[in-house]
Structure 1
Amino acid sequence: MSRIWKHNGLSIVAFTLFLLFWGAQSWAGFLDHNDDAREHHQPTVTYGQYLQSGDFWESAGENWESEFLQMAAFVVLTAVLHQRGSAESNKLPDEPGAQEEKQQEEDSVHHPRPDAPGPVRRGGWQLGLYAHSLSTALALLFVLSMTVHALGGTAAYNEERQEHGEEPVTVAQFVTSARFWSQSLENWQSEFLAVGSMVVLTIFLRERHSAESKPVGAPHAETGK
């Protein structure tokens, strides 16, 4: 058990916190949903019914889509753009060691080690796919999360319309509505605010021993990665 914790502690804690906060969010959302129902003299639901409702999946989907959009964009942008001094940026081409690191990466692809990932050792189209597998996976997760948001949001929106005696809308109609894009853009802007803040703050600030920070004694102009 100690070996598992030593090698996987970061992911274990991250996913444990995710489940704890998601569970807390679902319970708070359940209480809020029923409070709103009582105010409008509507029937309340059980916790299990709430977990199957459009309200729950709408809120989950819209948050997940913004997170995966942020990560996918960050992975791609940091591959082609730079920020001098930031711990979140690759070294600029004119910085000491930048060309050596690039050459080492090229060598690791063209002359793979025995323990290199399978697609790298096999080369060809498998290597081509694997070379961009991270951004591809994040983009697919973004699309999946956006689908959850769209389906859950449509269900929640139609529940509201039914209460007011209005006709239901299709998923396509909901996705083109102001409500859908207001929810999405509200989250997207906050994600890129966080990314931009992290990029700039790591130029001047430090966190000892963190992989997201430059060494405490590193000069501000030194790029981290």
Structure 2
Amino acid sequence: MSKNSFFYRNSLSIVLLALMLSCLLGQFFTGWKTENKELAENGNALLSFGQYIHSGHFIQATFENWESEFLQMMLYIVLTVSLRQKGSSESKSLEGEEDVDKEPKPHPKAPWPVKKGGIWLKLYNHSLSIAFAILFLLSFGMHFYGSLKDYNEEQISKEQPTTTAIHYISDSRFWFESFQNWQSEFLAVFSIVILSIWLREKGSPESKPVDMPHDETP
């Protein structure tokens, strides 16, 4: 494969996006079958593809997971600014200033906020964490909407009273959905931070060089 080809230069993002879309498609079809199975058991009308994609069941399940991913990334980016882990490839060095700590300087190839300076540069200094924070809040809002819709759809099928957003925001069901995903994301990050101290993967930027001592932080 040519190193100048579009795929070679963007292969990591292309493969990750393809994997995500494949799993999302798998989630949609299996979720659709699962929901229709429950509806059939309760004697309710089945959902079409179009109806299911707008259902609380699909919206809640999708954004519940996205929300936890964006929260994990946002906090990890912010925490790694000042916190350290000796020997981990995921941590900055314990001593000294690194390139990411230096004040940005304008140059011909610098991003335009660096050249512009002022408020634009201040925002750009934290644009990565801000972007993930916005994505988290949007996903959190969609998760809440989907979870509330799913709950009310279940209540209607059981001929039980529905609830409002004000009442549902304090419901244990919604927060259980969030916490069960948040804790797993933090466990995953903790695992790579700790395991990268002793374990290696040759060729991966997420690993230290194979011959680097365990107690050294790259």
Q: TM-score range by the shorter chain?
A: over 0.9
Question: C-alpha displacement at 1:168, in angstroms?
Answer: 1.6
Question: C-alpha displacement at 1:6, in angstroms?
Answer: 1.6
C-alpha distance in structure 2 between counterparts of 1:119 and 1:189, whole Å: 36
C-alpha distance in structure 1 between counterparts of 2:19 and 2:167, whole Å: 35
Give the count of matched residue pairs: 216
Return the match for 2:59 from 57, 60, 72.
Answer: 57
**Matching of residue 17 in structure 1 with residue 19 in structure 2:** yes
Question: C-alpha displacement at 1:158, in angstroms?
Answer: 0.3
Counterpart residue number, 1:120: 114
Question: Which segment drifts farther, 164-173 or 5-14?
Answer: 164-173
Matched to 2:154, the amino acid is: E
Matched to 1:25, the amino acid is: Q
C-alpha distance in structure 2 between counterparts of 1:77 and 1:161, whole Å: 41
C-alpha distance in structure 2 between counterparts of 1:16 and 1:124, whole Å: 39
**Alpha-carbon deviations, 1:130-162, whole Å to 9, x = none?**
000000000000000001101111111001111
Counterpart residue number, 1:33: 35
Return the match for 1:87 from 82, 86, 89.
Answer: 89
C-alpha distance in structure 2 between counterparts of 1:9 and 1:120, whole Å: 28
Question: C-alpha displacement at 1:112, in angstroms?
Answer: 2.8
Contact 1:72-1:139 within 8 A present in 2 as well: yes
C-alpha distance in structure 2 between counterparts of 1:79 and 1:201, whole Å: 20
Return the match for 2:167 from 158, 162, 173.
Answer: 173
Contact 1:84-1:223 within 8 A present in 2 as well: yes
Name the TM-score, length of structure 1 as normaliser: 0.92
Counterpart residue number, 2:183: 189
Question: C-alpha displacement at 1:3, in angstroms?
Answer: 1.8
Contact 1:61-1:148 within 8 A present in 2 as well: yes
Name the TM-score, length of structure 2 as normaliser: 0.95
Structure 1 gap ranges (5+): none
| SS of structure 2 residue aligned to 1:88 | coil
Question: C-alpha displacement at 1:113, in angstroms?
Answer: 2.6
**Alpha-carbon deviations, 1:22-65, whole Å to 9, x = none?**
00001000010111111112111112211111100000011010
Question: C-alpha displacement at 1:105, in angstroms?
Answer: 4.8
Counterpart residue number, 1:136: 130
Question: Which segment drifts farther, 32-41 or 163-172?
Answer: 163-172
Q: How many percent of aligned residue pairs carry the same amino acid?
A: 44
Counterpart residue number, 1:106: 102
Matched to 1:144, the amino acid is: L
